[in-house]
Amino acid sequence: MRRYVIKRLAQAVGVLWAAYTVSFLVLDYLPGDPVSAMAGAGSDSAEIDPAQLAALRHQYGFDKPVLVQYADYLGRAVRGDFGDAISTGRPVTSTLADALPQTLQLTGAALLLAVVLGGGLALLATYTTQRSLRQLLLSLPPLGVSVPTFWVGLLLVEAFSFRLRWFPAFGNDGARGLILPAVTLAIPTGAQVAQVLAKSLLTALDQAYVETARAKGAGRWRIHLRHALRNASLPALTVVGLLVGQLIAGSVVVETVFARDGLGRVTAAAVTAQDIPLVQGVVVFGALIFVLTNLIVDLVYPLLDPRIVVAPGRKAGLA
């Protein structure tokens, strides 16, 4: 188990390093100059002193070679220091800390809804004996995956905010203001959970151990929940871990549609302003949540299926 955990931690560090490096290279090759934008070089009403621009570039280290910049930023990032945001002058960690609670609230609620709704749909679709109902239920997840998130959000705002006036359309207005954004973000995620879990359940229900349980007199719900679901949950659990990154990315769109404060709006503003330190902080933080979630998923695997072992000199797998 120790070897298993060490291997997963090493992979997590590799993912964080790759995310930081890719974001640095992409931002470095983008056209434009974030320092000039911050100083107001694009404004017709202001003339920027070249000496002022040079001082700002020196302050943020943009006058150094790219490799030197990368080494400096990476060294500080390892210590948890991402510097100051170019667009606001505030420390990146403080900016992220202010925006984090709202985004975690949104993604947590969306993930809970996705698991409950997606899992419930998969269980119902595989439990029913009516073929037409099963086909109808199994056709819903592909539809949920294919529908654009922003379009779903706009429809929900139109129906439940402007027409029925049940929920606020915009802002961070407590629990009522969280419902529509969470549902919008949960629909594609829950659809993917339902797809994977339904397929795994149908496969599990055809296994010999299910026939043995039926022969021993076990009821349908007992077979579904105790026998089939436990074995079918591993692929769905893997998908849930991967979808955490998708939820964080989707929050950019959802928070923009619903005008919510959070990491999504911070990210959109930082990319627009080419705020390199702030974008890198967001990327690394998103990658950190992703790798921690998947690390937890990897550690839960052996609890769900004791056959998953790690032998010296072998990869993790089914023994």
Residue-wise pLDDT for 112-166, tens only, equals 888 898 888 888 888 887 888 888 888 888 888 787 777 887 888 888 877 877 8
How far, in Å, are 46, 238, 294, 299, 308 from residue 3 at the CA level? 60, 20, 17, 12, 13
Q: For residue range 230-288, what is the model confidence (pLDDT) as tens digits?
A: 777 777 777 777 777 778 777 777 887 777 878 877 887 787 777 778 888 888 887 88
For the stretch 271-295, what's the b/e string if a residue is b when 16 or more beta carbons lie within 10 angstroms of its beta carbon? eebbbbbbbbbbbbbbbebbbebbb
Query: Rounded distance, CA 248 to CA 268, Å?
Result: 13
Q: pTM above the 0.85 mark? A: no
Query: Rounded distance, CA 203 to CA 232, Å?
Result: 8
DSSP conformational letter for 228: I
Q: What is the pLDDT of residue 39?
A: 60
Name the band, by pLDDT with cuts 50, 70 and 90, for residue 94.
confident
Which residue is listed with tokens 């969470």? 182
- Please state, as a whole number, how many other Cβ atoms lie within 10 Å of the Cβ of residue 92: 26
Query: Rounded distance, CA 262 to CA 178, Å?
Result: 12
